[in-house]
Amino acid sequence: MEKILVTGAAGGVGTRLRKLMKGMYPSIRWSDIRKPDDLGTDEDFVVADLADPGAVERIVAGVEGVVHLGGYSIEGPWETILNSNIIGCYNLFEAVYRAGVKRVVFASSNHALGFYPRSQRVGVNVTVRPDSRYGISKAFGEAVGAFYADKHGLRVTCLRIGNVGDAPLDQRRLAIWLKPEDLVQLIRIGLEHRDIHFEIFYGASDNADAWWDNSNARRFGYKPTGKADEFRAQAMAEQAKLPPDPIGDRYQGGPFCSDEYDADRAG
C-alpha cells in the first residue's frame, strides 16, 4: 500500500490513529466533515461530507486502500444516521469501486449485535441484532461491504469495534475493550493480508471477559497485546458509580439497548 485514505480523521478514534499510524504508509490522506483541531502542518487532510457523492469521489481518487471510520459514532436521529452512516457509507463504497481502489477496512461496531445477551458467546457467523439506529447503520455497512466484495472483487474487512480507549471504562468495557495499538494491527491485516476477500473481525483486545469468538482475526495473524483484566479494579470502581440498568446490563450493547426500550410494555 503506497497511498491510503482514512475517513473520520477528526473523531476520537481517528485522532488516535493519526498519531499511531504516522509514517506507516508512504502517503496517508485524512478526511472528515470538519478539520481536526490538532491538525499538523505535515498532514494531508481534505474536508468532505460523505453524504455528497462528488466530495467522496474526490477523496478516494488515487488511493489504494481506505479505512472508513467516518460517520456518526453513537445513536442519533434517523436523519443524521441516514445521511452520515447509510448514504455516506454507500457513497464511499460506490466511489471506491468506481475509482478502482483495492481494499476497504470498514469500522463496524459491536452495536450491530448489541441485543445478544452477555451470556452468549458470538462468532462472526451470526445474524445481526442491532441495538439502535446506529447499530442498524453498521449492519448495513457490513452488507454493503459484502456486496462490493462478492460482486466487484473489492477486498473488504469489517471490524466490529468494541470500545477503543486507554483502558476499559466499566464492566461492559472489560469484555469489549480495544487497545488502540491492537486496532492498528487489525487495520493493517485488512489493508495488507494477501488472503482477504470479505472478512469480519471483532475489534477487541485479549480480554478475559470476552463475549466474542475472535478466532477469525487470529487466523489472519492478529495477536492482541491489550488485556482488559489488568484494569479490572478501576473498571469495577467506575461501574459501581453507575445506576442499575436491568436491560442494558443484560445485553452486550449496554445502554444502547435500554435507550428507548419499550419491548416489555409492547408485549
Provide the annotated active-site residues: 134
Say how far apart CA 191 and CA 186 lie, in whole Å. 9
On whether the CB atoms of residues 70 and 55 are closer than 8 A, the answer is no
Q: How many CB atoms lie within 10 A of CB 131?
A: 29
Q: Which is nearer to ligand 15L, 177 or 222 (CB)?
A: 177
What distance in Å separates the CA atoms of residue 104 and residue 238, rounded to the nearest whole number?
A: 36
Please tell me what DSSP assigns to residue 39.
-
How far apart are the C-alpha atoms of 231 and 214, rounded to whole Å? 21
Q: Which is nearer to ligand 15L, 73 or 91 (by Cβ)?
A: 73
The CA distance from 187 to 196, in Å, is 12
Of 31 and 109, nearer to ligand 15L (C-beta) is: 109
Least Å distance between CB 97 and ligand 15L?
25
Q: Is 66 helix (H, G, I), strand (E, B) or coil?
A: strand
What residue ranges in 69-169 does DSSP mark as E strands? 103-109, 155-161, 163-164
Residues that bind ligand 15L (CB under 6 A): 73-74, 109-111, 161, 163
Residue 74 or 126 having the CB closest to ligand 15L: 74
Nearest approach, Cβ of 261 to ligand 15L (angstroms)?
16
Q: Give the H or E element holding residue 32.
A: strand 27-32
